[in-house]
Chain A
């Protein structure tokens, strides 16, 4: 674990609860997270795991029916919890920004790309129209849009999916934020374009020393670019650690099972390892460890007692009563 003073993002005890007609639904429970400058941390989880709700809460973009609580939520040396709403908004875009999954709905269809990018500079930097346009062209070039000066007046529908995602990334990095949160930025894209976008994100965070929090459900994407990984299940972090470590030696049975279920060339044609059941809905969570009904290593204790997130080795945490054994199994196996 990195120490808070040098973290770009420092989160402790983040919880998000949605108010619904059937009562409160806890989507995120007690999440701790740090991202250092220049570091890429992946938040891995399936639908309903709370990864997107957590990301939105950190950005301050939660839905109106969400209640967000946290012990600490800091961006660099700024306490986001103590900021009045107006100043919190100023931080958005300026010091932290977000890349959304669906670029077509995240962009305004009736404004040209130049206007949308330029607006950032004009609002936050109070520059002239002309300067804003020049900055927009420079940015488009930086994210790899060919012939940016002739495309700056085009509208979102005139760009392909990959190009639109590049434009969203351009908007996110426009004001040189300390932190970018990317929510499934490549999920809607083809693999060859996904590779380009991942490469771009990787390059930008190195060049600009940005902290990147990548929200994804894709183990392959995590493996390609992440420095550290946090695995979420049923609203909680169940395992965290460096990507190299965690992907080669998982210490939570959920991570272990996910990795085992990925088709491998050596086992072509054989039965795939399949996790039984499906992820629980946040409204109906099993008692004890939320993974126990699907877990291959379940013991009686798991049904009644929820394991706390504890340190299993240097820089590694896991929430499992049997994490030692899981860790050991992958070493010997």
Chain B
């Protein structure tokens, strides 16, 4: 049954994931990739996730589509926890949450035709019973992503990057998912092609009432696509809320720095010089700082930040946003005074 707009589709609570690194014996350590992330997705809504490499956004995405199992925490789809289930219930997760991968050059098997690529999930999940039905459904899916059905007998190398990404999207849509997780869906594409794919995803989300989780490092693309935006730093959510609020009045010092570092195309708004320059690189997730993980690079940091992990909280400005910072009010006041 298709969900109606606003229904809670996916509810992830307190997800944790660590990976073991290093060869056995010496220098073995555990990398804390995702540390206590909770988020909710409603039908027809788009949630953007931004953050730098190593912040855990891809691990989060892989947990949501079932490619990784969280160490702890739960992922509920329509109220049913799918984290620990196997067999039939696991397939439910697979069907309802689908993924669009970053690189359309490596995520499609070069030896499969488009018909086989898009038809594969239909066959695996026994959605079609005949070759004719498969062909019809694949033609329909190609139409959805604005590709001609006649192209179904071609192979990936015969397509451009943008067309390949459309094929990847059609494949993800084959099982009528309720959630589409897109991990950097346009960053491998040429700049003149990115807008086509962004428009397509946005259009599908609206027309089919799909919940879209959109992960990208390009802040301007996320602002364009996402209804809500989450900012991640070293495995934790720094700030999450309504996109306009997060972009126009960021309350976490990291969000402020990230936004001010992003290059702007408009020369009149160029800010080289008056931007908040972060010192150094993000610390290693194998050895994250204590307390607030951002405190080593934060311009508002005090002793308390190194000792006490800030909990996500709402500010008194009644905005639709939560922020994990002890000094969010001060950070926001400073930013407003400067901006």
Chain A residues in the interface with B (C-beta under 8 A): 46-47, 146, 160-163, 190-196, 198-199, 202, 217-221, 223-225, 243-244, 247-248, 254, 257-259, 261-265, 267-269, 271-276, 278-279, 294
In the bound complex, what is the Cα–Cα distance between A146 and B244 (angstroms)? 37
Give the distance to chain B from A167, nearest Cβ to Cβ, in Å: 13
With a cutoff of 8 Å between Cβ atoms, the chain A residues found around residue B244 in the complex are 268
Check B195 against A259 for contact (C-beta < 8 Å).
no
Residue of A nearest to B281 (CB): A160
Check B192 against A261 for contact (C-beta < 8 Å).
yes
Interface-central residue, A254, A257, A275, by most chain B CB under 10 Å: A275
Give the top 5 A-B pairs by smallest Cβ distance, nearest first: A220-B263, A263-B224, A190-B52, A274-B195, A195-B261
Check A279 against B265 for contact (C-beta < 8 Å).
no
In the bound complex, what is the Cα–Cα distance between A276 and B243 (angstroms)? 28
Check B195 against A194 for contact (C-beta < 8 Å).
no
With a cutoff of 8 Å between Cβ atoms, the chain B residues found around residue A163 in the complex are 281
Spot the interface stretch: B2-10, B73-81, B270-278, B310-318: B270-278
Residue pairs across A and B with CB atoms within 8 Å: the count is: 124
Per-residue A-contact encoding for B251-266, CB less than 8 Å = 1, 0 else: 0000001100111111
With a cutoff of 8 Å between Cβ atoms, the chain A residues found around residue B202 in the complex are 271
In the bound complex, what is the Cα–Cα distance between A251 and B202 (angstroms)? 30
Give the distance to chain B from A141, nearest Cβ to Cβ, in Å: 15
Given A198-B272, A199-B272, A46 and B261 contact (CB-CB distance below 8 Å): no
Interface-central residue, B53, B161, B261, by most chain A CB under 10 Å: B261
Check B191 against A220 for contact (C-beta < 8 Å).
no
Given A190-B53, A223-B270, A272-B199, A278 and B223 contact (CB-CB distance below 8 Å): no
A-B contacts, 28 listed (Cβ < 8 Å): A46-B191, A46-B192, A162-B281, A191-B52, A191-B219, A191-B258, A191-B263, A192-B261, A195-B275, A202-B272, A219-B265, A220-B264, A223-B263, A223-B265, A247-B265, A254-B192, A257-B192, A258-B192, A268-B224, A268-B243, A268-B244, A271-B199, A272-B199, A274-B198, A275-B195, A278-B161, A278-B162, A278-B163
Which of B192, B261, B282 contacts A275 (CB under 8 A)? B192
In the bound complex, what is the Cα–Cα distance between A294 and B162 (angstroms)? 14
Check B192 against A278 for contact (C-beta < 8 Å).
yes
B217 at the interface (CB under 8 A from A): yes
With a cutoff of 8 Å between Cβ atoms, the chain B residues found around residue A219 in the complex are 191, 265
Give the distance to chain B from A314, nearest Cβ to Cβ, in Å: 18
Chain B residues in the interface with A (C-beta under 8 A): 52-53, 160-163, 190-196, 198-199, 202-203, 217, 219-221, 223-224, 243-244, 247, 257-258, 261-268, 270, 272, 275, 277-278, 280-282
Give the distance to chain B from A24, nearest Cβ to Cβ, in Å: 22
With a cutoff of 8 Å between Cβ atoms, the chain A residues found around residue B280 in the complex are 146
Beyond known contacts A160-B281, A261-B195: 11 more, CB 8 A cutoff: A163-B281, A191-B219, A202-B272, A217-B191, A220-B220, A247-B266, A258-B192, A264-B220, A265-B223, A271-B203, A274-B198
Check B53 against A220 for contact (C-beta < 8 Å).
no
Residue of A nearest to B198 (CB): A272
Residue of B nearest to A190 (CB): B52
In the bound complex, what is the Cα–Cα distance between A162 and B162 (angstroms)? 30
In the bound complex, what is the Cα–Cα distance between A225 and B198 (angstroms)? 27
Check A263 against B220 for contact (C-beta < 8 Å).
yes
With a cutoff of 8 Å between Cβ atoms, the chain B residues found around residue A247 in the complex are 265-267
Given A244-B267, A278-B193, A193 and B281 contact (CB-CB distance below 8 Å): yes
In the bound complex, what is the Cα–Cα distance between A224 and B261 (angstroms)? 11
With a cutoff of 8 Å between Cβ atoms, the chain A residues found around residue B220 in the complex are 220, 262-264
Check A191 against B195 for contact (C-beta < 8 Å).
no
With a cutoff of 8 Å between Cβ atoms, the chain B residues found around residue A262 in the complex are 220, 265
Give the distance to chain B from A271, nearest Cβ to Cβ, in Å: 6
With a cutoff of 8 Å between Cβ atoms, the chain A residues found around residue B203 in the complex are 271
In the bound complex, what is the Cα–Cα distance between A156 and B265 (angstroms)? 33
Residue of B nearest to A162 (CB): B281
Which of A195, A254, A274 contacts B199 (CB under 8 A)? A274
Residue of A nearest to B197 (CB): A274
Which of A160, A191, A199 contacts B262 (CB under 8 A)? A191
